């Protein structure tokens, strides 16, 4: 079964750090673009970051640029999000997600999502 399982969320003080992990199973995550998307309480979906299949290119939302780092470990089939200098506005459920791929199109949407991990930034 194709699955993404996030971990690493929790309660952290403003200015603190957390590292989120996203373990992939049932597929090789390094064959796919991967994203982190978050949803703050009562708010909509917000894209956070993306990494390309070989890990050589990363992009970030302006709101997290310089504070968050996305990375992947192909051997462990795992995606990471290192979050530093956390702020109250980073409080959200964080989802890792996979961009689908196939034989006809270049893009198949974000077709697999993890269950999410909750990050709460509060003193």
Partner 1 sequence: DIVMTQFPLSLPVTPGEPASISCRSSQSLLHSNGNNYLDWYLKKPGQSPQLLIFLSSNRASGVPDRFSGSGSGTDFTLKISRVEAEDVGVYYCMQGLQTPLTFGGGTKVEIK
Contacts of 85 (CB under 8 A, 6+ apart): 15, 17, 67
Q: Does 115 bind partner 1 (CB under 8 A)?
A: yes
Residue 66 burial (CB < 10 Å; 0-12/13-18/19+)? exposed
| By CB under 8 A, residue 41 contacts partner 1 | no
DSSP state of 88: G
Cβ of residue 13: shortest distance to partner 1, in angstroms?
27
Shortest distance, position 27 Cβ to partner 1, whole Å: 14
- Counting every residue, how long is the chain? 123
* # binding residues, partner 1 (CB under 8 A): 26
Quick check: helix, strand or coil at residue 43?
coil
CA pseudo-torsion sign 74, 116, 42, 120: negative
Site for partner 1 contains 1 (CB under 8 A): no
Does 25 sit near partner 1 (CB under 8 A)? Answer: no
Distance CA(107)–CA(123), nearest Å, equals 42
By CB under 8 A, residue 105 contacts partner 1: yes
Positions 85 through 104 that interact with partner 1 (CB under 8 A): 95, 97, 99-100
- Asked if residue 107 binds partner 1 (CB under 8 A), the reply is yes
Q: Does 47 bind partner 1 (CB under 8 A)?
A: yes
Tell me which residues touch partner 1 (CB under 8 A). 35, 37, 39, 44-47, 50, 59, 61-62, 95, 97, 99-100, 105-111, 113-116
């Amino acid at each position: 079964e194709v699955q993404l399982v996030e971990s690493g969320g929790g309660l952290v003080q403003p200015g603190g750090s957390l590292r989120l992990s996203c373990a992939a199973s049932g597929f090789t995550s390094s064959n796919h673009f991967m994203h982190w998307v978050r949803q703050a309480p009562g708010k909509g979906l917000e894209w956070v970051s993306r990494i390309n299949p070989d890990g050589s290119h990363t992009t970030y939302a302006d709101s997290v640029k310089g504070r968050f780092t996305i990375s992947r470990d192909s051997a462990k089939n795992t995606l990471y999000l290192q979050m530093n200098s956390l702020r109250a506005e980073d409080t959200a459920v964080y989802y890792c997600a996979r961009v689908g791929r196939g034989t006809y199109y270049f893009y198949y949407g974000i077709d697999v999502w993890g269950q999410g991990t909750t990050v709460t930034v509060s003193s």
